[in-house]
Amino acid sequence: MTTDKEIKKEFKINASKDPDKYYATSALKKEGFSRKHCNKCGTYFWSTTHENVCGNPACSGGFRFIGNTPAKKELDYIQVWKEFAKLFEKQGYTPIERYPVIARWRNDTDFVQASIYDFQPYVVSGEVKPPANPLVVPQPVLRFNDIDNVGITGSHYCCFVMIGQHAFMKPKDWNQEKYFIDIHNWLKQGLGLPNEEIKFHEDAWAGGGNFGPCMEFFSRGLELGNQVYMMYEQTPSGFKELNLKVLDMGMGHERNAWFTQGKSTSYETTFPTVVKKLYDITGIKVNHEMMQKFLPYSSYLNVDEVENIDVVWNDVAKKTGYDVDDLKKHILELAGLYSVAEHSRALLFALSDGALPSNVGGGYNLRVILRRALSFIDKYKWDIYMPDLCRWHAAYLEPLFPELVQNLDEVEKILEVEKQKYEATKQKTNAMISKLVKENIDEKKLLVLYDSYGITPELVREEALKFDKKIDVPENFYARVAELHERQEQEHATKREEKLDLQGVQDTIALYYRDYKKNKFKAKVLKIIDNKVILDETYFYPTSGGQLHDLGTINGQSVIDIFKQGSIIVHVLSQKPDFNEGDEVEGGIDLQRRLQLAKHHTSTHIINAAARKVLGSHINQAGAKKDVDKATIDLTHYQSITDEEIRQIGQEANRLVKESIEVESKFLPRTEAEQAYGMSIYQGGAVPGKLLRIVNIKGVDVEACGGTHLHNTSEAGEIKILKAAKISDGVVRIYFTAGEAAQKEKKQEKVILDEAARLLKVKAEQLPARVSELFEKWKLAKKAIEKDKEITIKELELKSAETFDGNVIDKISEALKTQPEHVVRTIKRFLKELEEFKAKITKGG
């Protein structure tokens, strides 16, 4: 297998031998551009001038537009997209709204990292129609590999808006020259750049086995964007033209505003209102003279590209004529300030789109940047409240992304809880650090400290200073941390199960989508492998989407398991079948089990909606399991759920049941479904296929889901929430039952309460008071005996019998620190021991 990197390298060499075939050279020539070869890096590039170096900052001498932009237009951040969309609409493109930054429609990534992610995998592969064609989109993206550069280089971000220009065309409709002219028009008309200030670089791009030429465009040392023409795919017999060619132009929205204003850093033009407020709060005065001299070299400090950062600092100091310590002090403080501004904006997008900081997956990176920002605030003792920053960002961005102001209260709550966690970690670990600093703390130890205990290297460094020890923190520390997790994630994702050889077997027609109550059917046997049977069509539901498989019989023989391999449904029998391939057989499904599963399944949708109403719009499903006796749903939430919240969720869920709301299930084309209901339909994770089965509890909840559902919420009977528990950072699990299982659960509960009430001689609703008293008296008696204290039997009599107004079983199992099913046993034990204590006391006294 050739890697993408190798494909790119090889293709770039080939393309450079025949530029007329791969690049829009005639359009370039018409505009007076000619082809040149960079005498520093060897890149082929196009310009109208006689220079012999390319536009790369390293070849051309850094950023040369600061304080001296060649752009004739001056655009503020908001204007950039407005103007871009206006021009491209004129050129035949449809501007569309952004997608969320959490990539719910994909299972290979947590966050959207480029505008093309919106259309992968199904639009790009040609299976699904794009929402418009061609189109342009202002897509916020999250990337965490440059964390340590944020604030320093003036141009790096964890969250930036990528302007995408995309077309998805059959080869006969593909018009590369037009796509090129369209973006060139943006540079000329949108930014007001004369041709002599633009350089186009020939390059190539490869990803996922697909590849093609691309053209990067630069001005004054700044790369403004890159237009990729995805035209070929790698096959065993060489490369082949794609059936659907894809235009993928990505341009940094931030850079456009920065470039046309020629300001010192792009942070000042990206969030002007926020930066100004931060200067006021912190009292930082920018040394403009120093910045002016420093900024052309800021790109040299890209920690990914330099080997020894200290050498570069010395070098930059020499070039600017400043003392290296003075330079570093001012620049690093400013970098801290810009990082706080940048990270709060990244968090605003991520949290209001429904992501949560945590210690797993993508949430991990969100916590990293939040803690990085908090540690700057700590270090410089700034009086900055992060939720305020989010509000200011949202207000500024409102003309572009009006949705950001909607979830601000929730964003604030999440940030506050996270800050408390950070403070708690700090408290707990100060002692730990002071012990550790006596040893040698190397990079590996720093990584472990952060990864396992959440201790930031800044904290370690500060604490170490108290002991006169200097700790070296690698400049790319946070990128290394993020990398550590990316690798683990990927390893996890590549695990695969063993598979049956099903070559040549047709996809099974899944009939259970049509009628969840049907339990008898006839079908043809297509294949038998040992005790595994594949039919042409089936009503049997395979385990999927967290719903357990059906049980039943095929021709009277027991079906013990059903699973899906690709689109083929496999029935596992208890023994080798006594029928043959080609036979017609009769299937029978255990209907009671099926109905109970459907009730539990539909209830997950109902509880999901109820929890969203009670806890907030950040609630999303993180997993679910529907068994016969009970079911669970995992929800994303930033803290534990209180008893009161559980009660409210239960109440809301049962209100939805009583309201008898229709549950509609129908298949829709993917793009149509996404446009009608948004990306939150992917509650169960990414779903494959052109058509999505949309389960719509009208006005309550819409999800893409393949399970068996009720036709009306009232069929759930009753939903009973058993308990909730935090199962991992940022995820809580709700245990519940519905329908007959809930009734059964209720009956069992009544038996327990009746027995407990009989034992303690009170009414059921008086149990909580009585149980607490029992426990208190037991402790009292035990202590009296151990310490040989005087106590009378009278003092040990049980008296309290207040009425409790709430869930009695929960209350007493909590008081007894036991599960409901063990309540009676535990009470008996306490009563027995209390009697024994009393007997001893009478003897002794």
**Binding site residues, Zn ion, CB under 5 A:** 38, 40-41, 43, 54, 56, 59, 705, 707
Taking phi over 0 as left and psi of -120 to 50 as alpha, with beta for the rest, 14 belongs to alpha
Query: Please, is 172 exposed, middle or buried when counting C-beta atoms within 10 Å of its C-beta (0-12, 13-18, 19+)?
Result: exposed
| H/E segment holding residue 586 | strand 584-589
End-to-end Cα, the chain, rounded Å:
88
Closest to 136 in 3D by CA, of 182, 170, 171: 182
**What are the two backbone dihedrals, phi and then psi, of residue 345, each rounded to the nearest 5 degrees?**
-70, -40
Q: Which is nearer to Zn ion, 44 or 422 (CB)?
A: 44
As a whole number of angstroms, the distance between CA 146 and CA 361 comes to: 18
Q: What residue type is 669 in one-letter code? A: P
Q: How far is the CB of 606 from Zn ion (least distance, A)?
A: 10
Q: What are the residue ranges of helices labelled H in 577-707?
A: 591-615, 643-658, 670-677
Q: Which is nearer to Zn ion, 263 or 605 (CB)?
A: 605
Closest to 216 in 3D by CA, of 232, 193, 200, 240: 200
Q: Which is nearer to Zn ion, 200 or 267 (CB)?
A: 200
**Partners of 523 in the β-ladder:** 585
Q: How far is the CB of 145 from Zn ion (least distance, A)?
A: 23
Q: Which is nearer to Zn ion, 485 or 600 (CB)?
A: 600
Q: How far is the CB of 163 from Zn ion (least distance, A)?
A: 25
Q: Which is nearer to Zn ion, 38 or 187 (CB)?
A: 38
Q: Two tokens at 609?
A: 């909606």
Q: How far is the CB of 701 from Zn ion (least distance, A)?
A: 9
- DSSP 8-state secondary structure symbol assigned to residue 388: H
Q: Which is nearer to Zn ion, 41 or 311 (CB)?
A: 41
Q: How far is the CB of 509 from Zn ion (least distance, A)?
A: 20
Q: Are 669 and 690 in contact (CB under 8 A)?
A: yes
As a whole number of angstroms, the distance between CA 139 and CA 720 comes to: 42
Closest to 708 in 3D by CA, of 562, 560, 609, 497: 562
Q: How far is the CB of 109 from Zn ion (least distance, A)?
A: 24
Q: Which is nearer to Zn ion, 263 or 693 (CB)?
A: 693
Where b means 16+ CB within 10 Å and e means fewer, 459-486 reads bbbbbbeeeeeebebebbbbbbbbeebb
Q: How far is the CB of 626 from Zn ion (least distance, A)?
A: 9
Q: Which is nearer to Zn ion, 40 or 698 (CB)?
A: 40
Q: Are 532 and 500 in contact (CB under 8 A)?
A: yes
In 3-state terms, what secondary structure has residue 438? coil
Q: Which is nearer to Zn ion, 51 or 403 (CB)?
A: 51
- DSSP 8-state secondary structure symbol assigned to residue 190: I
Q: Which is nearer to Zn ion, 542 or 768 (CB)?
A: 542
As a whole number of angstroms, the distance between CA 617 and CA 233 comes to: 41
Q: How far is the CB of 39 from Zn ion (least distance, A)?
A: 8
Closest to 618 in 3D by CA, of 680, 564, 660: 680
**What are the two backbone dihedrals, phi and then psi, of residue 728, each rounded to the nearest 5 degrees?**
-160, 175
As a whole number of angstroms, the distance between CA 303 and CA 299 comes to: 9
Q: How far is the CB of 296 from Zn ion (least distance, A)?
A: 17
Q: How far is the CB of 60 from Zn ion (least distance, A)?
A: 7
Query: Please, is 738 exposed, middle or buried when counting C-beta atoms within 10 Å of its C-beta (0-12, 13-18, 19+)?
Result: buried
Q: Which is nearer to Zn ion, 464 or 631 (CB)?
A: 631
Q: What string of DSSP letters covers 69-87?
A: ---SS---HHHHHHHHHHH
Q: Which is nearer to Zn ion, 56 or 256 (CB)?
A: 56
As a whole number of angstroms, the distance between CA 685 and CA 590 comes to: 28
Q: Which is nearer to Zn ion, 214 or 482 (CB)?
A: 214
Q: How far is the CB of 685 from Zn ion (least distance, A)?
A: 12
Please give the biggest Cα pair distance in the chain: 112
Q: What residue type is 758 in one-letter code? A: R
Q: How far is the CB of 692 from Zn ion (least distance, A)?
A: 12
**CA distances for 807 relative to 420, 652, 722, 744, angstroms:** 30, 16, 10, 17
Q: Which is nearer to Zn ion, 54 or 141 (CB)?
A: 54
Q: Which is nearer to Zn ion, 200 or 239 (CB)?
A: 200
| H/E segment holding residue 271 | none
Q: Which is nearer to Zn ion, 163 or 653 (CB)?
A: 653
Q: Two tokens at 438?
A: 């006596």
Q: How far is the CB of 620 from Zn ion (least distance, A)?
A: 14
Closest to 820 in 3D by CA, of 749, 733, 767: 749
Q: Are 372 and 343 in contact (CB under 8 A)?
A: yes
Q: How far is the CB of 49 from Zn ion (least distance, A)?
A: 14
Closest to 339 in 3D by CA, of 152, 145, 66: 152
Q: How far is the CB of 684 from Zn ion (least distance, A)?
A: 7
Q: How far is the CB of 571 from Zn ion (least distance, A)?
A: 22
